[in-house]
Chain A
């Protein structure tokens, strides 16, 4: 079955690194995504990783994928107050085109 789990809340100080974790169950997942949702706004794609990769870096964002453990993480370096938002992990399968989302992790950045 398809299930994506995330921790609900993370609080960090400005300038620290944030690590948001996600686990998924579907071994046929081909793409894994991180979306950001600011209050009252839509879903903004931050980054994605293909399942045959184990790491992807994009400026302050680093995605790590452990396919054996079905574990995905998003690291935000030098976290800023503007990074405060809800972060959703999502996956899609080769055979389908829908996204399956986690419940979202609320990131709170304290100045």
Chain B
């Protein structure tokens, strides 16, 4: 069964450093997403991406964050200057429709720890 692959599974970074979280969506999917889950809290939408541009973003997705599809397979989330409160599990997802038929396929997540 096709999978969404995320790397690394766990990243520890110092406050103020830049991090790039990587995702390989399912190959024939067209819509890509990032969500995050702070420990013990809800899974929150960050951003959706389609046709090489952001289609929707949440209030959380401020200027510190950016997304990119640098080639035909990867989809990355960059956090420019990490803060302690960025510590969370970050999930990538992809879908081949606007997610309204059968949901998305999520990756296993990257646990980001900012120290």
Contact = CB atoms under 8 A, between A and B. Distances in A.
Contact of B45 (A43, A45, A99, A104): A99
A30 B99 contact: no
Contact of A42 (B33, B45, B56, B91): B91
A101 B56 CA distance: 16
A92 B99 CA distance: 8
Interface residues of B, number: 27
Nearest to A102: B42
A96 B47 CA distance: 12
A1 to B, nearest CB: 13
A97 B96 CA distance: 11
B99 A43 contact: no
A88 B35 CA distance: 14
Nearest to A34: B103
B102 A101 contact: no
Interface in B62-108: 91, 93, 95, 98-108
Contact of A31 (B31, B35, B103): B103
- Chain A binding surface SS class: strand
A45 B31 CA distance: 17
A101 B44 contact: yes
B102 A96 contact: no
B102 A97 contact: no
Contacts of A92: 99-100, 103
A33 B43 contact: no
A94 B45 contact: no
A45 B106 CA distance: 8
Nearest to A32: B103
A70 to B, nearest CB: 18
Interface centre among B43, B58, B95 (most CB of A within 10 A): B43
A41 B91 CA distance: 10
A103 interface: yes
Nearest first, the 3 closest Cβ-Cβ pairs linking A and B are A42-B108, A97-B98, A101-B43
Interface of A: 30-31, 33, 35, 41-45, 48, 88, 90, 92, 94, 96-104
Interface of B: 31, 33, 35, 41-45, 48, 55-56, 58, 91, 93, 95, 98-109
